[in-house]
């Protein structure tokens, strides 16, 4: 005997299917017995009565179907407006709206079938057993789906962030329901399942708009630490990208500089063009667009105010400290806070400046590893040995 085993289809699913088939067979046998015991007049009267009842139920089912479609459409638009106003991710919005529509239409169809007079318990049992089988077969995929929903809701990272997770690092280029795609610095696309990302550790290098830079510089024994410190701080003082007060004050200063640059560019382009007068029809159709833009600006201002937390008001001055007395050098640690967008550019620029300008400004030299060997007099060669 050939025994076929279908993955995800267990004994409970088979039992549910057998019970549905037996119930349908018993119903047919009962109706056949009732028809045999009826006369021709009674049969005609019963058929006329049943047709009348079926017509009434069918009309009620059609009315309920169209009324349900209208309610589903209203609910769909309501949920869509709520998710757009809450600035929910577009991919999550599309998925949630599709899921809501499918669930609501399924409930509507089952309700309409029940109004017509068809037994719905068998359908519900069949769909339930199929759902269990599909869920068992797609357990890993559903885990990635749940992880994608959590990522889109909680937003531990967004498109454009540079992250490090699951042993990979790169810039996020796309966030899908089941996977996240990142691009490495050497332009390789890495597809990472969302299940591991939602439960693992994620290092987001782009979440904060300011980061602390750190250099390690070694000077020779006998060089002046104070002269090095003064030279480094003098170099930082002339750079407006180095934070010298608090992050909030520096952020405001950078914002004002950008505003001034924008005004100068507009002034250099000439006089602004006169405002275009629009008709009332144009204003009517663009009023909603203006409201959406105002709402987006309000959300941006709220996020900016939230970001200006208590930590942003701590003074972040550059520091030069002696960190280690090594074998061949005195190591200094230099720290400074900079905007995250300019992190690597400032790091490499000052690394080169320290090498080229510090020896002249501070009068120092960079040591290299060396070893002094001292021989005792007993181990020194004698004159006889030398002559030999």
One domain for residues 181 and 228: no
One domain for residues 173 and 122: no
One domain for residues 18 and 80: yes
One domain for residues 96 and 120: yes
Does residue 179 lie within any of the structural domains? yes
One domain for residues 191 and 214: no
Euclidean distance between CA atoms 349 and 355, whole angstroms? 10
One domain for residues 28 and 42: yes
One domain for residues 71 and 56: yes
Helix or strand or coil: residue 297?
Answer: helix
Does residue 286 lie within any of the structural domains? no
One domain for residues 349 and 229: yes
One domain for residues 184 and 260: no
Helix or strand or coil: residue 156?
Answer: coil
Nearest to 236 by CA among 334, 158, 328, 138: 334
Q: Which residues in the chain land under pLDDT 50?
A: 1-13, 16, 273, 388
Q: Which of 137, 168, 183 is the last residue of a domain?
A: 137
Report the CATH number that the domain containing residue 192 is assigned in CATH. 2.30.30.60
One domain for residues 161 and 244: no
Does residue 271 lie within any of the structural domains? no
Number of domains in the chain: 3
* Per-residue pLDDT, 319: 94
Q: Which domain holds residue 197?
A: 155-204
Per the CB < 8 A criterion, the answer to whether 231 and 225 are in contact is no
One domain for residues 177 and 132: no
One domain for residues 28 and 112: yes
pTM of this prediction exceeds 0.75: no
């Amino acid at each position: 005997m050939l025994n076929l085993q279908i993955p995800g289809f267990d004994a409970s699913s088979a039992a549910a299917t057998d019970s549905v088939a037996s119930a349908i067979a018993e119903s047919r046998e009962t109706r056949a017995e009732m028809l045999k015991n009826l006369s021709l007049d009674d049969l005609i009267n019963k058929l006329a009565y049943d047709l009348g009842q079926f017509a009434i139920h069918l009309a009620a089912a059609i009315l309920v179907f169209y009324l349900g479609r209208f309610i589903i459409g209203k609910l769909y638009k309501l949920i869509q407006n709520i998710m757009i106003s809450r600035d929910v991710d577009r991919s999550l919005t599309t998925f949630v709206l599709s899921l809501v529509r499918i669930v609501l239409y399924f409930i509507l169809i089952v309700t309409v079938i029940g109004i017509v007079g068809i037994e719905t318990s068998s359908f519900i049992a069949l769909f339930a057993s199929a759902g269990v089988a599909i869920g068992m077969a797609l357990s890993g995929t559903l885990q990635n789906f749940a992880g994608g929903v959590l990522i889109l809701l909680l937003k531990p990272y967004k498109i454009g962030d540079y992250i490090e997770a699951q042993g990979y690092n790169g810039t996020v280029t796309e966030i899908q329901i089941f996977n996240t795609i990142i691009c490495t610095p050497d332009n390789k696309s890495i597809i990472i399942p969302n299940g591991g990302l939602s439960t693992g550790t994620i290092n987001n290098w782009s979440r904060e708009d300011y980061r602390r830079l750190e250099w390690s510089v070694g000077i020779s024994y006998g060089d002046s630490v104070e002269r090095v410190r003064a030279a480094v701080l003098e170099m930082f003082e002339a750079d407006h990208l180095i934070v010298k007060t608090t992050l909030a004050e520096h952020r405001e200063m950078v914002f004002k500089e950008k505003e001034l640059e924008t005004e100068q560019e507009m002034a250099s382009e000439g006089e602004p063009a006169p405002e275009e007068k629009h008709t009332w029809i144009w204003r009517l159709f663009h009023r909603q667009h203006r409201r959406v833009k105002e709402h987006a600006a309000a959300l941006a201002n709220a996020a900016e105010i939230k970001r200006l937390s208590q930590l942003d008001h701590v003074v972040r001055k550059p520091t030069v400290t002696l960190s280690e007395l090594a074998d061949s050098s005195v190591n200094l640690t230099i720290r400074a806070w900079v905007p995250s967008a300019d992190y690597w550019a400032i790091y490499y620029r000052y690394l080169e400046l320290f090498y080229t300008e510090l020896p002249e400004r501070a009068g120092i030299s960079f040591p290299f590893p060396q070893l002094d060997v001292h021989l005792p007099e007993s181990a020194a060669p004698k004159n006889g040995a030398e002559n030999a």
